[in-house]
Structure formats: structure tokens, C-alpha cells
Amino acid sequence: MEIHQLRYFSAVARHGTFTRASEVEHVSQPSLSQQILKLEAELGSRLFDRLTRSAKLTVFGKAFLPKAERILRELEEAKTELLEMAGEEKGDVVVGVIPTIAAYLLPRMLTGFARRHPLVKVRVIEEITPLLLERLHQGTIDMAIVALPIPGSELSNLELFEEQFHAVLPEKHPLAREKQIKLADLNNEPFLLLKEGHCFRDSVIVACRQSKVEPAIAFESGQFATILAMVSAGMGVSAVPAMAVQPQPGCRFVPIAGKRNTRKVGIIRLRHHFETRAQRVLVEDMRETCKAG
């Protein structure tokens, strides 16, 4: 089994076609296909179902993929450790982030970082928290930006900031002009929330129940943009974190009073994961950016 075979296998799994994988890996398609056939022969199992225009992982391929990616990551870490010994501030960092943070925080955070540290390449993967935790344990991401706390003795939690929840109301709602409201004021209102799996949904439901409010969920979506459009149309009310408060036609954002109606945002990492110089620089830069507001 050769490292380049694992790399080719991972590329086909990631891109879904032998053609695209060969382009990314800068190798001819026949050569790439031949190497994967050799890998399958050595493993004694077919890794892909080869369709007309795509390649789908078999059950064996799905089982082998995280192991192959872990080997590739560990090899990359070994190379990076040598660069660390040489004192070079360079390398790749893979960051996971939940959808309710990605669009609002990362553009500002990473644009400045890229200017200050041009030799550090940051790749971002957007997923819900459970899937990011899986990737963290598999070693396919180095860290994740999520809502804290995340339990687990194997994880380290680093808080970046805390932000308030805001109610989202149709502009003609009776409470739309208030400077601040309580969640109890929204009792019996139809709620428009994120789908299950999004941790912000869970945070809103917990906050409601702590205020003796049982939200009547009238609509669910995977994106704030859809929810805001529905609120604008007068279909109900919702809640968003402070970072998502942006001008939206037909909507009013009103801060929700109460110390419990907030969320903490931070970085989680595996305690035993080797932290490279590039990762340390990125974490410190994110902390400073958040402190500066």
C-alpha cells in the first residue's frame, strides 16, 4: 500500500469522479484508476461503484475512508512538526464551523488573517455540531468554531465571546418598536426555527422553556435567510444571535432581556492533537480579532 494510492482514493471519494480527482492530483486518469485498482486488490475489496459519470463509495470504501484520511493527516502532521522544528510559520489548517456562525464571523476574521499570515492556508468546512465532532475525532479537521460548552474530557473549550439573542419580528408586530422584550412576551406566537441538528435551535428552545414558554413551532428551515423571509411575510417570529442582526426588509430585531438568553462562541480542539505553529497563530489571531470587536 502506497501513500499516493491513499491520496488518490481520498480524492475520488471527495470529488465523486475519477476525472476530477485526476485533475486535482495532477495525474492522468488511467494512472489514477490503475493505482486504485491495485489498492482494491491489496485490500481484497472493491472501494467504489463505478457509474457512468460518477464514482460512489461502497460499504467497504465508506469504512476505509476515515482510516485513509487519518493516515494522510498524520503524515501531514509529521511533515509539519519538522517545519515547526525549523521555526517556519507556514502550513495548512482545517477549521470546522457551524452554519449560524460561518457566514457572519469568518469573512471578517479570515480576510485579515490571510493578509497577516500569507504562508498559512486555512480551509473551512461548514457543518452542524454533531458532524463537526465526528470530523474532529476522525482527524479531518484541526479545530471547530461552535457554541460552547461542548462536553467531553478529551476536548478543550476556548471561549471567544458571548452574544445576546435577538427576537425577529414582522415590522408591524405590536412589539416591533420596543427597545427590549422578554421571551415570555412571545408566548403563543408561531415560532420559525432552524431544523433539528442545529445547536442554535436547541439554545432557543432551552431559553424559551426557562422562561416558561413552550414555542409553537410553525416552520423549520436549515437557513436563517429563509426564516427571515418568512418572518418578513408575517408568518411568525423567530430568534437569532447578535452576529446575525443585519438589515432585513420587513423585519425588526429586538434584544431579548435576560442573562440566560445568550450563547458563548468558541473553539474546540482535541487535547491530544498536536498543535502546529500555524494553528496556534490562527487561534491567537481569532482571539485578538474577537476582542477588538
Q: pLDDT tens, 182-195?
A: 999 999 899 999 99
- The pairing of beta strand 190-194 with beta strand 216-221: parallel
Check whether residue 62 and residue 107 sit in a common domain: no
Assess whether pLDDT exceeds 80 at residue 89.
no
φ and ψ at residue 173, rounded to 5 degrees: -65, 145
Check whether residue 51 and residue 183 sit in a common domain: no
Check whether residue 8 and residue 39 sit in a common domain: yes
Check whether residue 198 and residue 212 sit in a common domain: yes
Check whether residue 153 and residue 168 sit in a common domain: no
Q: Are 253 and 240 in contact (CB under 8 A)?
A: yes
DSSP secondary structure string for all residues of 92-117:
EEEEEE-HHHHHHHHHHHHHHHHHH-
Q: CA-to-CA distance for 100 and 232, rounded, in angstroms?
A: 19
pLDDT at 85: 60
Q: Which domain holds residue 231?
A: 161-262
Q: CA-to-CA distance for 124 and 256, rounded, in angstroms?
A: 31
Q: Are 208 and 214 in contact (CB under 8 A)?
A: yes
Assess whether pLDDT exceeds 70 at residue 96.
yes
Q: CA-to-CA distance for 9 and 32, rounded, in angstroms?
A: 9
Range in 73-82, 119-128, 201-210, 216-225 with the lowest mean pLDDT:
73-82
Check whether residue 231 and residue 138 sit in a common domain: no
pLDDT at 56: 93
Closest CA to 73 of 50, 91, 61, 54: 91
Assess whether pLDDT exceeds 80 at residue 274.
no
Assess whether pLDDT exceeds 80 at residue 140.
yes
Q: How many domains does the chain have?
A: 3
pLDDT at 88: 60
Query: Final residue of a domain: which of 34, 65, 81?
Result: 81
CATH of the domain at 268: 3.40.190.10
- pLDDT category at 75 given cuts 50, 70, 90 is confident
Closest CA to 104 of 251, 270, 223: 223
For 38-119, list the strands marked E by DSSP. 48-50, 55-57, 91-97
